[in-house]
Copies of this chain bind each other. A is one copy, B any other.
Amino acid sequence: MTKTVIWGGTFVTMDEERPVVHNGAMVFEDDTITYIGDKQETLKEQADEIIDGHNHCYLPGLVNTHGHAAMSLLRGYADDLNLQVWLEQKMWPMEGQFTEEDVRNGALLSIVEMIRSGTTSFVDMYDKMEIVAAAVEGSGMRGVLARGVIGFPAEQQATKLQDAKAFAKDWNGAANGRITTMMSPHSPYTCPPDYIEKFVQAAHDLDLPIHTHMSETRKEVDLNVELYGARPVEHLRKLGVFSRPCLVAHGVHLTDEEIAVLAEYRVNVSHNPGSNLKLASGIARVIDLHRAGVKVSLGTDSSASNNNLDMFEEIRLAALLQKGISGDPTAIPAMQALRMGTIIGAESIWLNNVGRLAVGFKADFIGIDIDQPHFYPHTDLVSHLVYSAAGQDVVDVIVDGQFLMRKRELLTLDMERIQYDAQRSFNRLNGA
């Protein structure tokens, strides 16, 4: 057993009883937090290491509940375009060429970026997921992974479903439980209804949750009505998708009735404010979703539509956008936004002992250097984290009790090599 004590510093716990512990201490033993609270000299007994937390703020690692890691290979490749042009002329032709090595290079690039900006758990939905899972395993991060499946061409449906099931089964619980899996039909507009039903059945058989895109654009909602006579929420409900624990990404275009259905079926929504703005999809009704009791977490979506994986930016956008749109400056206060990026994120992807600095929870947390001008004066640190911080302020990242980054130095991955490989992949794909 390894016992580590963090002595001093500010702890933003996400615990409702004591959300912030000033000048406190935290102990973790192996992968679990065993103490959080005021400093007590006895905590130091038999410690393997005592870390000085002075001028640092510690909080649960950030949880990114929607993305496609491999697509960071396409960061900056195509911006400021109409969605159809972007997808059909830019993204799909490039992604169609992705080899296993490209997926590995893209996924590792995303993982390095996520660690450096304080994300400790992330959802990934993509193809060639064994590659992504192996990258997650090696990196030390926590991943909730799914083989995202598009139902075209029809003759590949059976193989793809089989592939998705095999991946989900093989990797669920891997890497000391750091990897869990989901079943993931890509979306109602890319999967025929009977194919979605097969994913629902598989999710039941394997006792896994479902993750899918839903109601990202108005056009997609209209198309659903045209094709199936129902808006996406009703469509997916009828297909049984909500009979499983379910996480939907985006949920931008929702009616009051649809929000009520999501609440009734405890469907979790991954809000992706940056991507939704950049692709001009709109702004999700986060205030109304919260009010209805829907768990709303945060995701970056891929770097091809964000274009970074800095969850601090999504946390801030979630708070700012809802105020600006509603005209109510008290909407989504700082603590709520930070909860969306931590504990609510973890709960939304069924990580029930992650996302909080509390006894018995996983030692998944990050340290921020608050001895910088944009964190002064030291007033309300929760406000500073939400309205002033950026990923680059993260200095320490711990997952499952292991340091993945320490004093900004990566301990599990070779950043230089990963950057080099990503560039090489891109150059080949781009015909350079």
Q: Which residues of A contact B (CB under 8 A)?
A: 72-73, 75-77, 79-83, 86, 109, 112-113, 116-117, 274, 276-283, 303, 306-310, 319-321, 323-324, 326-331, 333-334, 371-374, 376-381, 383-384, 387-388, 390-393, 415, 418-419, 422-423, 425-427, 430
Contacts and interface: CB of A to CB of B under 8 A. Distances in A.
Contacts of A279: 323, 329
Contacts of A379: 75-77, 426, 430
20 contacts: A79-B334, A80-B329, A83-B329, A109-B376, A112-B373, A113-B373, A117-B374, A274-B320, A277-B324, A278-B329, A280-B324, A280-B331, A283-B324, A306-B388, A307-B384, A373-B419, A374-B391, A377-B423, A377-B425, A377-B426
B79 A380 contact: yes
A423 B310 CA distance: 28
A383 B277 contact: no
Most buried by B among A310, A320, A423, A426: A320
**Which of the listed residues A83, A283, A372, A374 has the most CB atoms from chain B within 10 Å of its own CB?**
A374
B330 A387 contact: no
A380 B308 CA distance: 14
A109 B326 CA distance: 32
A109 B373 contact: yes
A380 B320 contact: no
B76 A307 contact: no
A77 B328 CA distance: 19
Given A280-B323, A307-B387, A116 B373 contact: yes
A308 B277 contact: no
A378 B372 CA distance: 29
A321 B277 contact: yes
A313 to B, nearest CB: 8
A254 B379 CA distance: 36
A309 B375 CA distance: 11
Contact of A76 (B81, B371, B377): B377
Nearest to A82: B329
B86 A329 contact: yes
A77 B113 contact: no
B373 A329 contact: no
Given A278-B320, A373-B116, A376-B109, A388 B76 contact: yes
Given A333-B79, A373-B109, A377-B73, A278 B323 contact: yes
B330 A80 contact: yes
B392 A80 contact: no
Nearest to A283: B324
Contacts of A109: 373, 376
A319 B277 CA distance: 9
Contacts of A419: 371-373, 376
B79 A387 contact: yes
A380 B76 contact: yes
A231 B278 CA distance: 33
Given A76-B383, A374-B309, A328 B388 contact: no
A75 B329 contact: no
B384 A75 contact: yes
B76 A280 contact: no
Given A307-B388, A308-B374, A308-B388, A380 B282 contact: no
A75 B377 contact: yes
A373 B323 contact: no
A98 to B, nearest CB: 13
A306 B387 contact: yes
A402 to B, nearest CB: 20
B374 A113 contact: yes
Nearest to A323: B280
Given A75-B377, A279-B323, A310-B390, 11 more contacts: A73-B377, A75-B383, A75-B388, A76-B380, A76-B383, A80-B330, A303-B374, A373-B419, A376-B422, A377-B427, A378-B423
Contacts of A77: 377, 379-380
Contacts of A308: 374, 387-388
A372 B113 CA distance: 8
